[in-house]
Each structure stands twice: as C-alpha cells, then as structure tokens.
Amino acid sequence: MSSYVYKTTRRGVLLAKTVSYQVRLCSGNFRHLEVLKDENNVAIVTMKRAPVNSLNTELLTEISSVLTDLEETKCSGMILTSFSDKVFCSGLDIYEIFKSKPSAIGTSFSTLLEVFIKLYGSTFPTVAAITGHAPAGGCVLGLFCEYRIMVQNFKIGLNEDQLGFNAPSPIVKLMINTIGHRNAELALTSGRLFTTSQALQVGLVDEIAKDRTEAFEKADGFLRRFEMIPPLARNFTKQSMRRALLQDVTINREKYTEGFVSMISLHEVQQSIAAYLDNLKNKKRNAH
Ligand SMILES: CCCCCCCC/C=C\CC(=O)SCCNC(=O)CCNC(=O)[C@H](O)C(C)(C)COP(=O)(O)OP(=O)(O)OC[C@H]1O[C@@H](n2cnc3c(N)ncnc32)[C@H](O)[C@@H]1OP(=O)(O)O
C-alpha cells in the first residue's frame, strides 16, 4: 500500500515526495485512517482500508471520531481522500449488510448517520478529493462534503437500486439538492453510475482533476476561497442551508436505522445482494 506524504504550500497542501512541515494528529490511533494537519490547521484525512475502503463500522467509527477531534481543535478545513488511485470508497461494507444480524446492520447504518451529522454539519469547510471510483456509500461520503473534485475516468453514483434496495430519503434529498429533481430521479431509479465527466456535467462533482496531485491543488484552491471570509459568518450560512436535513436525521436517526434494517433484512433484498456479489465476482474472474 502506498503511503503518501503531503507538503504544505502557502495555505494548503500538495502531494509531495519529501517529508515536510505537517504534524500528525496525536489524539487518535487509527487503523484505517491517516490524519495529517498542516500549520494552517487544515486536515487531510486519508481512508486506507485496503483494498477498496469499504465502510465497515470500524472505519465509520474512526471517521466519526476524527470529525469530533477536528471540531474540538478548531480545524480550518478538511480534505477527505483515499490511499488508492483506483477507488475512493466502495460504499458500505457489503459483508456487514449481507447475511448479517439486524443489530450489525443497524450499527453500521447508524454510524453512517453519525458521520453524516458530523461531516455535513461540520463548522469547517470540507472537500472530497475523489481519487477513484465512488459507488453508493462512496458517493454518499462525497455528498456529505461541501465540494467534490474527482480524478478523470472513474465512476460515481448512487447504485443502490442495482443491489435491490432503495436509497433512504435523506440521501435522496441530498442528491436532489445537488443535481436537481429530474436528474436525481433518473439516476436513482436506474442505480446509475456516472463517469467523471458525466458527473461534472450534471453537477454531482464540482471539478475534474487529471490526477491526485491536481485534485489536491484544486482542493487547496477551494479551501483558500474562504481565507478572507470570516469563519463565523461562513458557518452560520452553511448551517442555515443545511439545518433542515441535519435536524431531520438527528431527530429521526433511530427511525431511519430501523427502516434500513427492515429493508435490508427482506429475503428478496438479501437475494438481490447475493446476485450482485456473484456478478461482481464473475466480472473479476472474466477480467483475468
Ligand atoms: C443522510 C445519510 C443517509 C445515508 C444513506 C445511505 C444509504 C446506503 C448507502 C450505501 C449502500 C452501499 O454502499 S452498499 C455497497 C455498494 N457498493 C458497491 O456497489 C460497490 C461494489 N464494488 C465495486 O463496484 C468494485 O469493487 C469497485 C469499482 C469499487 C472496485 O473495483 P476493483 O476492480 O478495483 O476491485 P474488485 O471489484 O476486484 O474488489 C476488490 C475486493 O473488494 C471487495 N469489495 C468491493 N466492494 C466492496 C464492498 N462495498 N464491500 C465489501 N467488499 C467489497 C470485492 O469483493 C473484492 O474482494 P475479493 O478480492 O475478496 O474478491
């Protein structure tokens, strides 16, 4: 697995080969995350759960705990990225929702909602540097951030319908807020995965990068936009734009979790997930 080092430039971060100025966050000891901060208090959070950053409860809990830490240490911005140059995040760990106990499915989903509340509602600006594919929960993580920069020639989208279940309503709303009702309906009902350039066209991502380095330069550029904006004003505006969805998920977290568990536990849904997994394995076999 590659280990990346980030070099500080002006107020942001650039991928670099040499060790430099940044400080490693000491407050957490993470198995699946690397968290670096530059001298301007910008955090680079790199998911590194090989091979494809599938979101199991452990990784989600680590993300949640980093977000708490970043709030407490008054972080001035965050870049969320992946160790991989092929996959940003492959979504929820399918093996935690396939043939699993309802309690395990519930814990995984409820932790995802906790991440939503902290990431979508963060006081600091957030940007996803999407260095590879981002299906389902991978796209969801990107949507929780304020801005998405995606490396060319990958796929992103909410393909839940392909797995046999529907995307819960908060994420449908978030998708509508991002790409509009018509595009969201067409995309969600077919479980569509967009190529990077299609995603840009529809507004699912904000910028395209040719590679990881450019994605970081652009992420840095996004965070620098706020240098002259008083953080308090920025945050009030952000919270007012996001309040309705945040309140809904905060108040109804248990209800949404129960709904997700019931849906995933249905026999037909489990059968669809099994077929989807077979298909994934066959694709891999045929590729070799
Ligand atoms: C307000 C908030 C509301 C939130 C609502 C959220 C609603 C629910 C959200 C999400 C649901 C989900 O995320 S379900 C998961 C859906 N994920 C996918 O459909 C992705 C499936 N994977 C792929 O398409 C591909 O693996 C890939 C494009 C991501 C990578 O392809 P690549 O060719 O590089 O790698 P492989 O396919 O060979 O995979 C390698 C290895 O990883 C295993 N794998 C892949 N994805 C997952 C996964 N999601 N969970 C667990 N494991 C996964 C794959 O089986 C391979 O394993 P083996 O090497 O053992 O065969």
Q: Calculate what percentage of the chain has a pLDDT beyond 90.
A: 87
pLDDT tens for 207-229 read 999 999 999 999 999 999 999 99
Geometric angle at alpha carbon 89, from 238 and 9, rounded to 5°: 60
Question: Does residue 24 fall inside a structural domain?
Answer: no
pLDDT tens for 123-159 read 999 999 999 999 999 999 999 999 999 999 999 999 9
Question: Does residue 14 fall inside a structural domain?
Answer: no
Which pLDDT score is estimated for 25? 52
Question: Does residue 49 fall inside a structural domain?
Answer: yes
Ligand 1 contact via 135 beta carbon (within 6 Å):
yes
Q: Which of 17-21, 76-80, 110-114 has the lowest mean pLDDT?
A: 17-21
Task: Tell me how many domains the chain contains.
Answer: 1
Q: How far is the CA of 243 from the centre of ligand 1 (A)?
A: 30
Which pLDDT score is estimated for 1? 30
- Which atom of ligand 1 lies at the shortest distance from residue 160's CA? 11
Which pLDDT score is estimated for 20? 44
Is there a contact between 83 and 45 (Cβ–Cβ < 8 Å)?
no
If we measure between CA atoms, which residue out of 153, 157, 155, 156 comes closest to residue 211?
153
Phi, psi of 15 (to 5 degrees): -70, 135
Q: How confident is the model at residue 29 (pLDDT cuts 50, 70, 90)?
A: confident
Which pLDDT score is estimated for 106? 98
Query: Would you please indicate which residues are annotated as catalytic (active-site) residues?
Result: 92, 137, 159-160
Ligand 1 contact via 241 beta carbon (within 6 Å):
no
Which pLDDT score is estimated for 17? 33
If we measure between CA atoms, which residue out of 60, 55, 264 comes closest to residue 166?
264
Which pLDDT score is estimated for 185? 98
Look up residue 98 and give its two tokens.
Answer: 């396939």
> What is the mean predicted confidence (pLDDT) over 25-39?
83
Q: How far is the CA of 48 from the centre of ligand 1 (A)?
A: 14
Residues contacting residue 169 through CB under 8 Å, at least 6 positions apart: 256
Bridge partners, residue 154, by sequence = none
Bridge partners, residue 239, by sequence = none
Q: How confident is the model at residue 27 (pLDDT cuts 50, 70, 90)?
A: low
18 vs 182, higher pLDDT: 182
Q: How confident is the model at residue 287 (pLDDT cuts 50, 70, 90)?
A: confident
Is there a contact between 15 and 212 (Cβ–Cβ < 8 Å)?
yes
Question: Does residue 19 fall inside a structural domain?
Answer: no
Ligand 1 contact via 247 beta carbon (within 6 Å):
no
Question: Does residue 12 fall inside a structural domain?
Answer: no
Which pLDDT score is estimated for 288? 76
Give the domain range for residue 281. Answer: 33-287
Average pLDDT, the chain: 92
If we measure between CA atoms, which residue out of 138, 131, 133 comes closest to residue 94?
138
pTM: 0.93
Which pLDDT score is estimated for 286? 87
Question: Does residue 127 fall inside a structural domain?
Answer: yes
* pLDDT greater than 70 at residue 251: yes
- Which atom of ligand 1 lies at the shortest distance from residue 167's CA? 7
214-15-50-95 Cα dihedral, nearest 10 degrees = -50
Query: What is the CATH classification number for the domain harbouring 69?
Result: 3.90.226.10
Which pLDDT score is estimated for 3? 36
Q: Which of 3-17, 118-132, 238-252 has the lowest mean pLDDT?
A: 3-17
The sign of the CA dihedral 185, 188, 193, 199 is positive
Question: Does residue 1 fall inside a structural domain?
Answer: no
32 vs 29, higher pLDDT: 32
Closest CA to ligand 1's atom 43: 52
Q: How confident is the model at residue 205 (pLDDT cuts 50, 70, 90)?
A: very high
Ligand 1 contact via 264 beta carbon (within 6 Å):
no
Look up residue 193 and give its two tokens.
Answer: 């995965």
Closest CA to ligand 1's atom 9: 137
Ligand 1 contact via 100 beta carbon (within 6 Å):
no
Ligand 1 contact via 261 beta carbon (within 6 Å):
no
pLDDT tens for 38-94 read 888 999 999 999 999 999 999 999 999 999 999 999 999 999 999 999 999 999 999
Closest CA to ligand 1's atom 3: 171
> What is the mean predicted confidence (pLDDT) over 238-243?
98
Geometric angle at alpha carbon 247, from 69 and 185, rounded to 5°: 105
Question: Does residue 4 fall inside a structural domain?
Answer: no
